[in-house]
């Protein structure tokens, strides 16, 4: 070997080390939103941006519409490695994320951008243990969740009694507090349930009238903005897969995450406008509340119930709720 090297020197051959080729990592991204939904399109765009900014070192296979894991299975799917990245709603795992549940309370949200900012701030402040086995990419949250019904108009609080309404997580508790009967189900199942009369409607953001075609099966939208809630959506990654990435690629993805959280919040608000137009085009009727204070009074105990629930889980429920409210008021 030495004789070979000496010969190369004598012959004037310059020996340069070849740069090591970076190993490509391929990730599978599971999302329950249908591919045509604006939030699905944004998620897919996130995938392309990651590929672009990592110079192809991170490749992503995108599975929308629950084709890899269903909405309720998504978080477990990421933890267990069925998928590497997942996007779904925290509310589909009721009771599992007690800190973040404060964000979904009926606090009178006015926009998706505000709700998204609140969700990410609450996570950063309290770093819930429920996420210790995954790498959080970011959270986003929809605009005001309000009441939609088929065939039965709701104007006063008393009108909601006896109605079966699709609702999940804290929105289910809200329906119950208001006097209705909550029925838990994911958005993909809600269209047929309303169409067939299994439920009378549900609590949704206005965007669902277009994004999930709900305008085809509901007739009335009640302006329940005083008790408007949101639903927090997570984007998380399998921690082992995250650790396989280079430091530089983790830095790049973290940077993209900050940009995309804000984009999702803005998209929720833009799609609310589209959803309202779709609802009206389908002949829907918007009903103003006749007794807003009564609705607020009926929902108010939910906040104290949250504090009690969180305290029983050895969390500081009051601190979490106060921080959530203060952050929302600052938006």
Residue 172 sits in the same domain as residue 270: no
Q: What is the CATH number of the domain that holds 46?
A: 3.40.190.170
| Residues in a beta bridge with 181 | 164
Is 112 among the domain residues?
yes
Domain assignment of residue 217, given as a range: 145-229+282-329
The answer to whether residue 17 sits within a structural domain is no
**Whether 260 and 287 share a structural domain:** no
Q: CA nearest 102: which of 255, 310, 264, 269?
A: 310
Is residue 113 domain-shared with residue 192, that is, in the same domain?
A: no
Is 216 within the bounds of a domain? yes
Domain-located, residue 137 = yes
For residue 201, being part of any structural domain is answered with yes
Taking Cα atoms as reference points, which of 271, 35, 43 lies closest to residue 143? 271
Same domain, 51 and 125: yes
Asked whether residue 163 falls in the same domain as residue 210, the answer is: yes
Does one domain contain both 94 and 190? Answer: no
Give one word for 149, left, alpha or beta, with left for phi > 0 and alpha for psi -120 to 50. beta
287 in the same domain as 225: yes
Q: Is the residue at 30 inside a domain?
A: yes
On whether both 166 and 149 belong to a single domain, the answer is yes
Considering the domain architecture, whether residues 261 and 184 belong to the same structural domain is answered as: no
Tell me: do 267 and 195 sit in the same domain: no
Answer with the one of 239, 254, 274 that is the final residue of a domain. Answer: 274
Whether residue 5 is contained in a domain is answered as no
Q: How far apart are CA 200 and CA 220, in angstroms?
A: 11
pTM for this one?
A: 0.85
Q: 110 and 59 in one domain? A: yes
Nearest-angstrom CA–CA distance, 222 and 160: 11
Per-position pLDDT tens, the chain of length 331: 444 444 333 444 443 444 445 689 999 999 999 999 999 999 999 999 999 999 999 999 999 999 999 999 999 999 999 999 999 999 888 789 999 999 999 999 999 999 999 999 999 999 999 999 999 999 999 999 999 999 999 999 999 999 999 998 788 999 999 999 999 988 889 999 999 999 999 999 999 999 899 999 999 999 999 999 999 999 999 999 999 999 999 999 999 999 999 999 999 999 999 999 999 999 999 999 999 999 999 999 999 999 999 999 999 999 999 999 999 999 9
3-state secondary structure the chain: CHHHHHHHHHCCCCCCCCCCCCCCEEEEEEECCCCCCHHHHHHHHHHHHHHHHCCCCEEEEEECCCCCCCHHHHHHHHHHCCCCEEEEEHHHHCCCCCCHHHHHCCCCCCCHHHHHHHHHHHHHHHCCHHHCCEEEEEEEECCCEEEEECCCCCCCHHHHCCCEEECCHHHHHHHHHHCCEEECCCHHHHHHHHHCCCCCEEEEECCHHHHCCHHHCCCEEECCHHHCECCEEEEEEEHHHHHHCCHHHHHHHHHHHHHHHHHHHHHHHHHHHHHHHHHHHCCCEEECCCCHHHHHHHHCHHHHHHHHHHHHCCCCHHHHHHHHHHHHHCC
Query: Cβ(295)–Cβ(108) under 8 Å?
Result: no
Asked, for residue 1, whether it belongs to a domain, the answer is no
Whether residue 33 is found in the same domain as residue 157: no
Domain count, the chain: 2
């Amino acid at each position: 070997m030495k004789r070979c090297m000496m010969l190369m020197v004598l012959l004037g051959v310059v020996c340069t080390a070849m740069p090591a080729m970076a190993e490509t990592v391929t990730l599978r991204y599971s999302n329950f939103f249908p591919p045509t939904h604006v939030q699905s399109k944004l998620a897919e765009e996130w995938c392309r941006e990651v590929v672009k900014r990592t110079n192809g070192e991170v490749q992503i296979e995108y599975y929308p519409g629950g084709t890899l894991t269903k909405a309720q299975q998504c978080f477990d799917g990421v933890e267990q490695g069925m998928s590497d990245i997942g996007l779904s709603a925290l509310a589909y795992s009721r009771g599992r994320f007690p800190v973040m549940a404060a964000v979904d309370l009926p606090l009178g949200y006015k926009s998706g951008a505000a709700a998204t900012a609140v969700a990410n701030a609450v996570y950063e402040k309290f770093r819930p243990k429920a996420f210790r086995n995954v790498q959080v990419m970011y959270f986003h949250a929809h605009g005001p969740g309000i009441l939609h019904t088929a065939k039965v108009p709701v104007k006063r609080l008393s009108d909601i009694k006896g109605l079966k309404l699709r609702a999940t997580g804290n929105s289910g508790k809200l329906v119950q507090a208001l006097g209705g009967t909550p029925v838990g189900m994911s958005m993909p199942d809600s269209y047929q349930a309303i169409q067939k009369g299994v439920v009378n409607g549900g609590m949704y953001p206005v965007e669902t009238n277009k994004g999930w075609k709900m305008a085809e099966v509901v007739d009335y939208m009640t302006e329940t903005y005083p008790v408007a809630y949101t639903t927090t959506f997570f984007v998380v990654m399998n921690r082992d897969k995250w650790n396989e990435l280079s430091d530089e690629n983790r830095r790049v993805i973290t940077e993209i995450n900050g940009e995309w959280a804000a984009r999702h919040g803005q998209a929720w608000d833009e799609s609310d406008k589209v959803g309202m137009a779709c609802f009206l085009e389908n002949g829907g009727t918007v009903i103003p509340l006749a007794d807003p204070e009564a609705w607020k009074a009926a929902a108010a105990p939910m906040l104290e119930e949250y504090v009690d629930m969180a305290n029983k889980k050895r969390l500081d429920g009051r601190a979490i709720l106060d921080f959530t409210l203060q952050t929302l008021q600052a938006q």
